[in-house]
Amino acid sequence: MGAAMADQPGEATTDGAAGSAPVPGRGPGRPEETAPGVYRVETGRGLTEANVYLVRSGPGWVLIDTAWPHRGQLIRAAAESLFGAGTRPEAILLTHIHPDHAGSARELAGLWDLPVHVHPAELPLAAGRYLPQYGNPLDRWLIAPLLALMPRRAVRASVSRSSLEGIAVPFDPAAGVPGLPAWRTVPTPGHTPGHVAFFRSQDRVLITGDAVLTVNLNSVPDLLTGKHRVAGPPYISTWDWPAAKESVAALAGLKPDVLACGHGRPMTGARAATDLASFSARLSAQAPARRSGAGGETTAGGSQEQGGRARPSARVAWRATAEERAMPLPGDDLVPSPTAQTTHAVTIKAPPQQVWRWLVQIGHGRAGFYSDSKFWDRCVDWYYRRLSRHQPAEKPTAGYHVADDSRIVAAWQHPQVGDIIADGPPGTAYYVVRQAEPGKSFVLFTDTHLRYLLPAWLRDSPRLGAFGELSSSYLLTEPEPGTTRLIRRMRIRCAPRAFCAYVVPVVLIWGEAITARNLLRGIKRRAEAAPRQA
């Protein structure tokens, strides 16, 4: 996890846990012996969870990683419970400089009067500043735009709080591990440029940092259930994905008996090596991804289209052809010179009149958006309930409400230009019907949606001045009798740039890759099944 800055979510919310002594029983602050002389200390729960390791070596010991900020006292207390009052490590090592691993490094270096050792390639990150060349998707999509909004003084203060300048010192990875003669350093670049893992070959104990995890931070369901499985680093905070994949393969080659990771419970026994090997094989079989640095830009910026990119399509082909992406569509004029545009299409074995009847029923309190995913509906529900909280008290509206998405409902069949189609609790986001030609075209427009992707305190900030409009157009054609080609185009225009940098990726992921894709699939499934009339 983590990003270039230390002042990330998690810091502010968890101050309560800081400074407390280790509590008896399981849980944060209590050391657990993962392997002989290797102790894991959990330092938080949920989003603030991160492991640090205390490793015994002869009469001394070494600390590997320092968790989020304000965990210094908790880590010191855990160490004193193992090694006695007033104990001090031989060295502090960092697998990499992210706020959930290096957050308390400054505090602990001060407490013990020690430097922290990092791989030489990691040193540029020590200054705590945002460096575009080392940026990961989270940095580019969220941190950099937020920094641009923050007052300079606040940025400087935040940088100086997280800076490890004068504290971080490079060590020679080929010369062994500072303070741990029985261990060796395994360079594992990718998650960050100078990421390292540590390996004790005599009993094959591997401390992986974020190069390999035993919880999948890339899957929300896995995260919620805490499923114990080998996984790669979190994509969103990974600098160079192809290099990260090679690092996973390098670690699999070590055939570890113990996987002690930066996040998740350790994995021990034969399973550690076999699960890691099969995970690495699956990962290498994936189509070669581009360096993550190229990811964000291609989706924004007018002519480049998300729809043209190859993406794994599980159950519905929704790629539009080159002609479909280039052709003008009704509603294009509503959002001139868009910041981003996508075009998707699906072929449905039913005549346009049939498809039309499902299409025009969409909307909150109507047929929803045909997601057919209970999990996704719950996510939307959660979001709607959050929005409702900020509404006037006399309107205690519920969350995401779908009246009926399995029938044709006569009352919803005749949309008129100017009709309002809700997409959120009353008083929040809604679409306006701008064109409705039965069986042919359906165009929705909104300038209410995008602001609601911001937290309430930023939504109406005059300093930000967030503006955003979006059109979704649907064109139905009949390439051969009884078959519909349903083409959907989304155009978005927003300002200022910082707001765009945040909102465009959210729209492309939440609005397009998930919601729009579900929608096309849901309409196809319903239109191709035997119709049921209300």
Residues that bind Zn ion (CB under 5 A): 2, 98, 210
Q: Quick one: 232 or 505, whose CB is closer to Zn ion?
A: 232
To 10 degrees, what angle do helices 517-528 and 352-359 make? 130
Report the nearest approach of Zn ion to the CB of residue 75 (Å).
18
Q: Quick one: 149 or 250, whose CB is closer to Zn ion?
A: 250
To 10 degrees, what angle do helices 241-252 and 270-285 make? 150
Q: What is the CA radius of gyration of the chain?
A: 26
Which residues lie below 8 Å from residue 219, measured CB to CB, with a gap of 6+?
Answer: 231
Closest CA to 208 of 255, 165, 152, 248: 248
**Structural contact between residues 257 and 267, judged by C-beta atoms closer than 8 angstroms:** no
Q: Quick one: 210 or 257, whose CB is closer to Zn ion?
A: 210
Question: Which structure tokens are listed for 10?
Answer: 């998690």
Question: Rounded distance, CA 186 to CA 278, Å?
Answer: 20
Report the nearest approach of Zn ion to the CB of residue 291 (Å).
17
Q: H-type helices in 8-123, by residue range? A: 72-83, 99-102, 105-112
Q: Quick one: 107 or 210, whose CB is closer to Zn ion?
A: 210
- Measured distance between the N- and C-terminal CA atoms of the chain, rounded to whole angstroms: 49
Report the nearest approach of Zn ion to the CB of residue 275 (Å).
21
**Structural contact between residues 497 and 373, judged by C-beta atoms closer than 8 angstroms:** no
Q: Quick one: 98 or 129, whose CB is closer to Zn ion?
A: 98
Question: Which structure tokens are listed for 347?
Answer: 């072929």
Helix, strand and coil percent figures for the chain, each rounded to 5: 35, 20, 45
Report the nearest approach of Zn ion to the CB of residue 6 (Å).
12
Report the nearest approach of Zn ion to the CB of residue 207 (Å).
14
Report the nearest approach of Zn ion to the CB of residue 362 (Å).
39
Q: Quick one: 2 or 69, whose CB is closer to Zn ion?
A: 2
Report the nearest approach of Zn ion to the CB of residue 222 (Å).
17
Q: Quick one: 2 or 135, whose CB is closer to Zn ion?
A: 2
Report the nearest approach of Zn ion to the CB of residue 379 (Å).
24
Q: Quick one: 118 or 334, whose CB is closer to Zn ion?
A: 118
Which residues lie below 8 Å from residue 66, measured CB to CB, with a gap of 6+?
Answer: 52, 72, 75, 92, 94, 101, 102, 103, 104, 105, 107, 108, 116
The phi and psi torsions of 504 (rounded to 5 degrees) equal -65, -50
Point out the residue whose Cβ comes nearest to Zn ion. Answer: 98
